[in-house]
Amino acid sequence: MRTFLRLEFLYRQLCYQAERNSAWASRDAIDGLLDIVAILSRGDVRGDVLKELERQLFMLERLQKTNEVDITRLQGVTQKLQKLRGSLSAIGPKYLQELKDNEFLNAIRHRSSIPGGTCAFDIPEYTHWLRQNFDRRTHDVAVWVEAVRPLCDAVMGLLWIVRNTKQSGKRIASGGVYQHSMNRETINGLIRIALPTGVELYPEISGSQHRFSVRFMRWDSGEEKPAQTGDDVEFELTIC
């Protein structure tokens, strides 16, 4: 789940920056793409996503036997997941090879580990590319992103399913702390916390498979270390 969330974050960043007509935005898009490739190069992420798609499809199939379910909507979600599974299966296990063999991207990746290592005198080819017109840069990024798009789209679809399968409930954190014991008979992958608009607090979550705790912290200017609030905090909790 942590890997999925990181991929979602990077993919959203990449898509946002790729649409902005700025050389700095193109830099951010390339950085996002290279970070995605780095994550996908560790372990069999594609296999993990396929397994999760199969699990979700199995659960949706079981829901079809429930009378209270909106069959039309359920079938729509099922078809979407089946399409994502088909696209991900079609790219094969060597889907990253083209990006790994790209000398232009490799040069950027090797210099990115050095602070300021991708400036003009380090990689003049990169600077030349950044000076190309927006359409050219957009086209190139789109071609490179296409290699990872099926997997990233599948991750986005899975996270949408996870986030929308459970109802949220109101909770109170007494003195800024909330503790919760998990039901060991259910599979939970994600905890979501929502605070009312305008509340100057943020949550810190720690725990394990069986229990977790939430501490609500107050942040002022950054000059002092954040401290836990001593007030009772009302929030919404969703365990997905």
Distance CA 194, CA 196 (A): 7
For 199-238, the pLDDT digits (tens) are 889 999 998 888 999 999 998 776 778 899 999 999 999 9
Residues 6+ apart with CB under 8 A from 19: 138
Global pTM value? 0.88
Q: Contact, 108 vs 126, CB < 8 A?
A: yes
Distance CA 108, CA 27 (A): 10
Over the chain (240 residues), what is each successive 10-residue block's mean pLDDT? 95 95 95 96 94 91 79 88 95 94 94 88 93 95 96 96 88 94 81 91 90 91 83 92
Distance CA 173, CA 21 (A): 45
Distance CA 200, CA 175 (A): 15
Residues 6+ apart with CB under 8 A from 230: 175, 176
161 Rama class: left (phi>0) / alpha (psi -120 to 50) / beta? alpha
Backbone angles phi, psi at 239, to 5 degrees: -105, 110
Which domains, and CATH codes, for the chain?
2-162 (1.10.3900.10), 167-239 (2.60.440.10)
Q: Contact, 147 vs 96, CB < 8 A?
A: yes
Centre a 10 Å sphere on the Cβ of residue 61 and count the other Cβ atoms it contains. 11
For 134-159, the pLDDT digits (tens) are 999 999 999 999 999 999 999 999 99
